[in-house]
Amino acid sequence: MDQLVPLTDTQSSAHQSQSDSFWVVKNHEEQYSIWPTWRQVPLGWVCVGQPQDKEQALNWIEANWTDMRPASLRRWLEETANNG
C-alpha cells in the first residue's frame, strides 16, 4: 500500500502546473475514478484516454460509467439469467 507523504513547498510548486490534470482510471471490475497525472497510477488501475482537467474527467466518467455494478456481478447476473 502506498504511504502518503506530504509534499514540500518546492515539490508542491513543481507539481502545480500538473495539479489540474487528471487521468480517468479503470480497475479490473470496470470501476472508474480520477487520478492526478503527477502521481503514479496505483497497481490494478489503468489509464483511459488522455489527461484532462478535473471537470472534464468527471464528466467523462458520468457519461460513460452508466452501470455502477462491478463487472464480475454483471457477468454473474447474465450467466444466471441465461442458465435460469
Q: Does the pLDDT at position 10 exceed 90?
A: no
Residue 11 belongs to a domain: no
Q: How confident is the model at residue 4 (pLDDT cuts 50, 70, 90)?
A: very low
Q: Is residue 39 part of a domain?
A: yes
Task: For residues 39 and 9, give the distance between their C-alpha atoms in angstroms, rounded to a whole number.
Answer: 16
Across residues 30-47, what is the average pLDDT? 97
Identify the burial level of 24 via C-beta atoms within 10 angstroms of its C-beta, where 0-12 means exposed, 13-18 middle and 19 or more buried: buried
In a domain, 3, yes or no: no
Q: What is the pLDDT of residue 44?
A: 96
**CA–CA gap between residue 27 and residue 41 (Å, rounded):** 11
2: pLDDT strictly greater than 50: no
Tell me the per-residue pLDDT of 69-84, one tens digit each, with 9 for 90 and over.
999 999 999 999 998 7
Report pLDDT for 19. 72
Whether residue 50 lies inside any domain: the answer is yes
Residue 37 is part of which domain span? 19-83
Q: Is residue 10 domain-resident?
A: no
Model confidence at 13: pLDDT above 60: no
- Give me the CATH number covering residue 75: 3.90.820.10
